[in-house]
A and B are shown apart, each in its own frame.
Chain A
């Protein structure tokens, strides 16, 4: 039995949920970034899987979208981590629960 598209989708769903878990259940800002990266990775996996399993692959569109999203995710990570450092410099903490200036 060879893995079907379904199995790949399940895997990416699991990966996505794990990313969500990381983003939701940790207080360290870096964990939130890690979670977001994991979710993006899950999305990429979906792109590739759908591309691979579609009837005819004359155009590598799925691969290209995955490439672009990887590049953008990398930029996002860079800026995000820079933000973490800047926030840390400013508030002396990276605990997102203490960064609640918005609280009404």
Chain B
């Protein structure tokens, strides 16, 4: 049974891919059929992944693989494969459910867009690539889907090509993630060089199985770090996080699907997937690579949370919150709590998608206004959105006992607290939790509470096609908590393969109160700080952000995202410009001047020779003249723009190589 399932697992990503191809070939006017097709494809994927989910339910770390040869060069073949294990299956389900909700939502959200059809083609394409990514059993296949996902994200961020901002953001996202992927690719090559295979699990010969890992030896750390560099690029960890907030230029469903729920989580997923690589040679759960992961995660979490406090764009706040949550996940992976990290990843997928869709609904209701200071009092005009948004907010800020987020936060704090190396990460992410609650409170107060301001005047509730997915996601983000509670940590057991039993006693633990107090502190602080924020227009206190009022410099620092973009602009980009200008100068002056000069010499020679010739010297000189002319012409031909010269140089190079080869052989 499971055998046949794993053999046909490729159908799961195949369905959305096919759908996207079909939609791409549709005329721009067939909006309904495009949407219907996309949703149908997503439904099919959902059904299939549900089927694939069943066999993984029998605890004991189920894992099935299906490997096949892609192509052979020489005597060695390059093999790819699909795998099914609890991690992958859970991700499959999460992606399909969230994706489905978002597809439905975007039917309403994009209803007026002229490129509706293209949008759904891209969405399906992304969904297919993402599903493929989570079931890949080969680092190469994973990398391929990884790049496809990146492409989809690029296309969707820049979906509104007519907006320069969107185009810029798309380019930025693409290039920044490329930088990370370069590291990933190097790590991949190195891994292949060392272990001779890129399959994760291959009946004992895979690169994540003891035999394969043994072959890595000392290079494991560096390989792991390179791969983590890629992961950091994708899920916006500290050095490479700059693209993610800008990615909010894309349509909101895209932000929800790609830049909150699924794609940015791919980095975390990747780390979890190749975890054996990270934890290789760990002494009580600490390795250099994991330590790096922890600290990068901590930095990201705190920094992003701080920045989020000072953002005024409803989507940017969420974006930075995403970055910080991903940081938290990285931390808990780094400190050894893979299950905790993944649990938070799954839960976060649901409620962050919910929040983004809520934001989308708000923007839709406020006719495209995104500045939270211009909103307010929307709880009356958009009740459904408000209710669901509140659920999402509480889940994100980790209110315990009722919301999935709470349990995962608690779990993460727990694993961080038990990290042998140091307790600093624990305290820092505790602060992170407080900050999360703080900025979410701030946002909710600004958007929904208080009195209406400019943009909120004519706000209206969104159509059911948009609110129903919200409700569905809210439902998920509440009841997903059921499988997370320490009392019955079913998901934990499912992921780690341990058997679990029901035990209410474990429900109440010190950590429970700690996280409860942290969240309470955050929310309380927020409520106190922004108590005035809901006032009328023209009210001085409402115009200016309380934090700005108190600490202008700090606020500016945060509001400008700690000037990290500017920093990059001053350093890296400037350097790139400089080197470009430099090489340009070299081209024009040096490489071009050289042949010109030589050519001039040749010409001089020839002129001289003709001069002598004209004085009536015999034909021998004539020959030299011709030769010199030829030389001069030959050299002067070396200037750019002469296609034949390129060809000639090419031929000469080939000849040189041949000679070299013959000489060596």
Contacts and interface: CB of A to CB of B under 8 A. Distances in A.
A–B proximity contact (CB within 8 A): yes
Interface of A: 20, 23-25, 27, 32, 96-97, 99-104
Nearest to A36: B647
B641 A100 contact: yes
Contacts of B592: 104
A100 B651 contact: no
B640 A100 contact: yes
B640 A102 contact: yes
Given A24-B644, A96-B643, 20 more contacts: A20-B651, A23-B647, A24-B647, A24-B651, A27-B644, A32-B643, A32-B644, A32-B647, A96-B644, A97-B642, A97-B644, A99-B641, A100-B641, A100-B642, A101-B641, A102-B640, A103-B640, A104-B588, A104-B639, A104-B641
A29 B306 CA distance: 63
23 contacts: A20-B647, A23-B644, A23-B647, A24-B644, A24-B648, A24-B651, A25-B644, A27-B644, A32-B644, A96-B642, A96-B643, A97-B642, A100-B641, A100-B642, A101-B641, A102-B640, A102-B641, A103-B639, A103-B640, A104-B592, A104-B639, A104-B640, A104-B641
A102 B644 CA distance: 13
Interface string B632-651: 00000001111110011001
Nearest to B587: A104
A103 B641 contact: yes
A53 B651 CA distance: 28
A99 B648 CA distance: 17
A31 to B, nearest CB: 10
Nearest to B584: A104
A99 B587 contact: no
A103 B592 CA distance: 10
Contacts of B641: 99-104
Contacts of B651: 20, 24
Interface in B344-372: none
A88 B165 CA distance: 39
A46 to B, nearest CB: 14
A27 B640 CA distance: 16
A96 to B, nearest CB: 5
The 3 closest A-B pairs by CB, nearest first: A100-B641, A103-B641, A102-B641
Contacts of A24: 644, 647-648, 651
Interface in B602-650: 639-644, 647-648
Contacts of A101: 641
A103 B642 CA distance: 8
A13 B360 CA distance: 67
A42 to B, nearest CB: 13
Nearest to B639: A103
A23 B645 CA distance: 10
A103 B588 CA distance: 10
Nearest to A99: B643
Contacts of B643: 32, 96, 99
Nearest to B644: A24
A47 to B, nearest CB: 18
Contacts of B587: 104
B420 to A, nearest CB: 61
Interface string B430-454: 0000000000000000000000000
A100 B642 CA distance: 6
Contacts of A32: 643-644, 647
B12 to A, nearest CB: 35
Nearest to B591: A104
A27 B643 CA distance: 10
Contacts of A25: 644
A52 B639 CA distance: 45
Nearest to A25: B644
Which of A20, A25, A27: most chain B Cβ within 10 A? A20
Contacts of B639: 103-104
A104 B643 CA distance: 13
Which of A23, A25, A32: most chain B Cβ within 10 A? A23
A49 to B, nearest CB: 18
Contacts of B644: 23-25, 27, 32, 96-97
Which of B587, B588, B592, B644: most chain A Cβ within 10 A? B644
Nearest to A26: B644
B652 to A, nearest CB: 10
Contacts of A20: 647, 651
Which of B639, B643, B647: most chain A Cβ within 10 A? B643
Contacts of A100: 640-642
Interface in B581-610: 587-588, 592
B646 to A, nearest CB: 9
Contacts of A27: 644
A86 B641 CA distance: 19
A1 B648 CA distance: 37
A13 to B, nearest CB: 11
A25 B643 CA distance: 11
Contacts of A102: 640-641
A32 B648 CA distance: 12
